[in-house]
C-alpha cells in the first residue's frame, strides 16, 4: 500500500474530531482563534510548529535590555488598527524624537562620503511615487524610475562613479525593504501605484515589547486549545462533498476537522505547499504563489558594555 494511503488510513483511525483546526500560532492564527472563540466556536485547536507563539513577533529580553528579533514598529499612526489597540491597552510607547537618532555614512575605506548622494536618493523616493511619474514606467520594473533618474539628479555621478553606484545600491535596498522585494525590477510601476504607504514618519512601538500583542491575543484562548511544537506535515482536503479535512502533524497526531485555517506566511506556503496539501492546491493559487517574490530584512543587534 502506498505511503500516502497508509498515512491517510492511520490518520483517520486515530483522528481527534474538531470543528476547526488553525494551523500556525503567529498573530494571524492567534487572531483567527480569538475571533472564532468570541463568536461561539468552542471545538477548536491551534497547532504551532515552534516552541513559542507569535511567529514573526518575537521579543527578546536579557539583562534588562529589550530588543525585537522580529516585528518592531507600528507603522502609520492612527491609520493602523494596531495603534488603536496598543493605545487601549495602555501599551503604546512614547514616540522617540528625531534628535535621538544618529545616522552616519562611511565609505569602504573609512572616509566620509558625499552626502549629496543621500539627498538625491531621498528626493527620488518621493518623486518616483508621484502619479504623473509612475505611468511612464507602467510596462517596466518599478526600479527603472530610480535607475534612470539617479544619474540625472546626481550631477557628480561620473566624477564619483563608485560612490554613486553605492548610493544607488543603498536606494535600491531602501525601496526593497519598504516594498518587500528582492529586486526592485520585479514589481511594475503599475503595481507600485497600488502600494499602501503607511507613512514614513509615523512609527510607533509597544511600550513593553511587541509580544504584548501576543499576550493580548493568547489571553482570550482557553487552556488546552493550543498545541505547541506540532508541525503540520500533511493536510488532506477536498475529499468530496461534505467531507472533512484531515490534518496530520509530524509527531503522528491527526485531526479530522470541518474547517482548516492555514495561517502560514506566503513564503512558507511557497516553499512547502507542494508537499503539504493533498490533493494539490488549485492551479491558479499555485501560479500566484510561484510569481510572488518576498524580500528579506536582516536585523543585527549590537551592544557595548559601556556607552561611547
pLDDT for 56: 92
Nearest by Cα to 233 from 266, 262, 267, 265: 262
| CB contact set of 54 (below 8 Å; sequence gap of 6+) | 25, 26, 27, 30, 70, 211, 213, 214
Q: Is this model's pTM higher than 0.85 or not?
A: no
**Based on the number of CB atoms within 10 Å of its own CB, is 31 exposed (0-12), middle (13-18) or buried (19 or more)?**
middle
Residues paired with residue 22 on neighbouring β-strands, in sequence order: 46, 261
Cβ atoms of 235 and 262 closer than 8 Å: yes
CA distance 115 to 176: 21
CA distance 150 to 120: 7
Evaluate if residue 178 carries a pLDDT over 90: no
Measured at the alpha carbon of residue 11, what is the angle toward residues 252 and 238, in degrees to the nearest 5?
A: 125
State mean pLDDT over 129-154.
Answer: 88
Domain boundaries, the chain: 3-56+211-291, 100-192
Sequence-ordered alpha helix ranges (H) in the chain: 3-14, 27-38, 81-88, 116-127, 143-153, 161-179, 189-192, 211-219, 266-276, 283-291
What is the widest separation between alpha-carbon atoms in the chain?
A: 74
pLDDT for 291: 79
pLDDT for 287: 93
3-56+211-291, what's its fold? FAD/NAD(P)-binding domain (3.50.50)
Please give the share of the chain, as a percent, with pLDDT higher than 70.
Answer: 90
Q: What are the pLDDT digits (tens) for 214-223?
A: 999 999 999 9
Phi, psi of 231 (to 5 degrees): -60, 130
How sure is the predictor about 196, in pLDDT bands with cuts at 50, 70 and 90?
Answer: low
pLDDT for 33: 98
Amino acid at each position: 500500500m502506498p505511503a500516502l494511503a497508509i498515512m491517510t488510513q492511520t490518520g483517520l483511525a486515530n483522528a481527534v474530531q474538531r470543528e476547526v483546526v488553525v494551523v500556525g500560532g503567529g498573530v494571524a492564527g492567534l487572531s483567527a482563534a480569538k475571533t472564532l472563540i468570541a463568536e461561539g466556536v468552542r471545538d477548536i485547536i491551534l497547532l504551532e510548529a515552534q516552541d513559542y507563539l507569535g511567529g514573526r513577533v518575537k521579543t527578546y529580553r536579557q539583562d534588562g535590555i529589550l530588543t525585537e528579533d522580529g516585528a518592531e514598529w507600528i507603522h502609520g499612526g492612527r491609520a493602523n488598527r494596531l495603534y488603536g489597540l496598543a493605545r487601549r491597552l495602555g501599551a503604546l510607547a512614547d514616540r522617540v524624537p528625531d534628535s535621538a537618532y544618529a545616522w552616519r555614512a562611511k565609505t569602504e575605506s573609512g572616509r566620509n562620503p558625499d552626502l549629496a548622494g543621500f539627498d538625491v536618493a531621498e528626493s527620488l523616493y518621493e518623486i518616483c511615487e508621484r502619479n504623473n511619474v509612475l505611468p511612464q514606467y507602467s510596462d517596466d520594473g518599478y526600479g527603472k524610475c530610480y535607475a534612470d533618474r539617479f544619474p540625472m539628479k546626481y550631477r557628480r555621478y561620473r566624477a564619483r562613479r563608485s560612490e554613486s553606484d553605492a548610493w544607488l545600491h543603498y536606494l535600491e535596498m531602501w525601496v526593497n525593504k519598504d516594498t518587500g522585494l528582492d529586486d526592485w525590477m520585479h514589481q511594475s510601476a503599475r503595481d507600485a501605484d497600488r502600494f499602501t504607504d503607511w507613512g514614513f514618519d509615523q512609527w510607533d512601538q509597544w511600550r513593553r515589547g511587541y509580544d504584548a500583542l501576543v499576550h493580548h491575543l493568547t489571553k482570550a484562548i482557553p487552556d488546552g486549545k493550543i498545541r505547541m511544537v506540532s508541525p503540520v506535515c500533511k493536510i488532506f482536503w477536498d475529499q468530496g462533498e461534505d467531507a472533512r479535512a484531515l490534518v496530520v502533524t509530524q509527531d503522528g497526531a491527526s485531526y479530522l476537522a470541518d474547517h482548516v485555517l492555514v495561517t502560514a506566511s506566503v513564503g512558507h506556503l511557497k516553499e512547502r505547499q507542494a508537499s503539504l496539501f493533498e490533493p494539490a492546491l488549485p492551479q491558479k493559487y499555485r501560479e500566484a504563489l510561484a510569481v510572488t517574490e518576498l524580500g528579506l530584512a536582516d536585523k543585527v543587534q549590537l551592544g557595548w558594555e559601556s556607552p561611547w
